[in-house]
């Protein structure tokens, strides 16, 4: 199992799959990349037992075989090498690889590749095809709203719902919620699953610059994403997702429309003076005037800014967590946003005032915080 490969090509492929590896593994072989050669094709794999990614490329090889090579050492070595061909000479008895370059030899001892976790096989799966830009946009718009509560694992992932009319992605941590609908992405039949956060973050990185359609296959336990020469398979979150439609208020007579970048800038500046535990900012809306304010009574800090806005409804004061507002407004792309409200103790709805894409429908919900008058 000896082969020759470009150092930069190998580094690029290993970096693309390395995001799935954990830094503190109890099983030493999970600190490795798996190298498999078959019929002149090198397949590279990385796994954390829950998620496995493979990528493949054509190489010059004398024969087939497998070897698990320590990931960190190999990445550090490749990162410090200039672009050049590297010869890998494998010793199957010692499970070691010698890397021969133009100027030196380096030996790495790994593990028996046959002991590496096998990629699970999908059975009785449902299959759909989705555009890469739709999937990437859905991940970017929703993943920040997922929770971290171990007691409610279903809320630590993104709910993906495919229907014959549209595709819906939902994320919530009970304080904020994002519902992202694509009316230009449809499936042959209705299906749904809950995708964990970690493989979604890895997938988001892999999708940068990809124009291929993504094939998604899934059953009750796993989902497989295939595009180009990349396959990502992960274990799904088991459980029933909460009824997200029930928490979205339908009657919101008070509507505030404001320039997105001006509002975002004001929240960022004013929140510097907010209480470090609550991150509370106050929105006081009176006609066409919005006052954004925050205070930290413990240190006698306060800040406020006045902004012009368009407002329909009764004058009101409402408090929100500034970190949530910044995350949400940063992930919207329109020049103006509309904040829909019903009362100071009811959830606020944030939507873009103009749709950049007619097939896209994004709604963000944020729970208010109690104002300390």
SS3 state of residue 270: helix
- CA pair distance 270, 323, nearest whole angstrom: 11
- CA pair distance 254, 150, nearest whole angstrom: 36
Write down the CATH number for the domain with range 126-242: 3.10.150.10
Which residues lie below 8 Å from residue 33, measured CB to CB, with a gap of 6+?
14, 17, 18, 44, 45, 46, 68, 69, 71, 74
**Structural contact between residues 235 and 51, judged by C-beta atoms closer than 8 angstroms:** yes
User: From first to last of its 373 residues, what are the pLDDT tens digits of the chain?
Assistant: 899 999 999 999 999 999 999 988 889 999 999 999 998 899 999 999 999 999 999 998 878 899 999 999 999 999 999 999 999 999 989 999 999 999 999 999 999 999 999 988 888 788 999 999 999 999 999 999 999 988 899 999 999 999 999 999 999 999 999 999 999 888 888 889 999 999 999 999 999 988 889 999 999 999 999 999 999 999 999 999 999 999 999 999 999 999 999 999 999 999 999 999 999 999 999 989 999 999 998 899 999 999 999 999 999 999 999 999 999 999 999 999 999 999 999 999 999 998 878 889 999 999 999 887 6
Classify domain 3-115 at the CATH superfamily level: DNA Polymerase III, subunit A, domain 2 (3.10.150.10)
With both helix axes pointing from N to C terminus, report the angle between 7-18 and 71-79 in degrees, rounded to the nearest 10.
140
Q: How many CB atoms lie within 10 A of CB 296?
A: 17
- CA pair distance 96, 108, nearest whole angstrom: 6
As a whole number, the mean pLDDT across the chain is: 94
CATH of 248-366, one of 3.60.21.10, 3.40.630.30, 3.50.50.60, 3.10.150.10: 3.10.150.10
Q: Which residues pair with 321 in a beta bridge?
A: 280
Instruction: Tell whether the torsion through CA atoms of 241, 242, 245 and 248 is positive or negative.
Output: negative
- CA pair distance 86, 101, nearest whole angstrom: 5
CATH 3.10.150.10 domain span(s) along the chain: 3-115, 126-242, 248-366
**Structural contact between residues 178 and 172, judged by C-beta atoms closer than 8 angstroms:** yes
Task: Copy the structure tokens of residue 372.
Answer: 């300390």
């Amino acid at each position: 199992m000896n082969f020759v490969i470009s150092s930069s090509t190998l580094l690029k492929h290993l970096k693309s799959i390395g995001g799935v590896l954990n830094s503190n593994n109890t099983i030493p072989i999970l600190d490795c990349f798996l190298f498999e050669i078959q019929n002149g094709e090198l397949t590279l794999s990385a796994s954390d037992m829950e998620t496995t990614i493979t990528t493949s490329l054509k190489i010059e090889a004398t024969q087939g075989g497998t070897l698990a090579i320590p990931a960190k050492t190999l990445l550090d070595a490749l990162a410090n090498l200039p672009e050049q061909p590297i010869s890998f000479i494998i010793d199957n008895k010692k499970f070691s690889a010698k890397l021969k370059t133009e100027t030196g030899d380096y030996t790495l001892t790994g593990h028996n590749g046959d002991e590496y976790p096998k990629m699970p096989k999908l059975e009785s799966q449902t299959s759909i095809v989705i555009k890469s830009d739709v999937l990437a946009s859905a991940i970017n718009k929703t993943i920040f709203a997922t929770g971290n509560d171990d007691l409610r694992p279903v809320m630590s992932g993104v709910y993906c719902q495919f229907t014959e009319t549209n595709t819906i992605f939902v994320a919530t941590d009970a304080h904020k919620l994002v519902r992202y609908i694509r009316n230009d992405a449809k499936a042959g039949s209705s299906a749904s699953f809950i995708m964990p956060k970690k493989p979604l973050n890895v997938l988001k990185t892999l999708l940068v610059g990809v124009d291929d359609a993504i094939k998604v296959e899934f059953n009750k336990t796993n989902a497989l994403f295939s595009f180009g020469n990349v396959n990502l398979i992960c274990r799904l979150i088991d459980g029933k997702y909460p009824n997200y439609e029930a928490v979205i208020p339908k009657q919101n007579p008070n509507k505030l429309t404001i320039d997105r970048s001006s509002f975002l800038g004001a929240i960022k500046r004013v929140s510097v003076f907010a209480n470090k535990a609550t991150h509370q900012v106050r929105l006081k809306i009176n006609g066409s005037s919005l006052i954004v304010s925050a205070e930290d009574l413990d240190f006698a800090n306060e800040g406020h800014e006045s902004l012009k806005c368009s407002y329909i409804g009764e004058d009101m004061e409402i408090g929100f967590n500034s970190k949530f507002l910044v995350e949400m407004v940063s992930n919207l792309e329109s020049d103006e946003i509309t904040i829909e409200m019903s009362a100071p103790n009811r959830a606020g709805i944030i939507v873009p005032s103009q749709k950049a894409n007619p097939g896209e429908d994004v709604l963000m919900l944020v729970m208010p915080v109690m104002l300390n008058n």
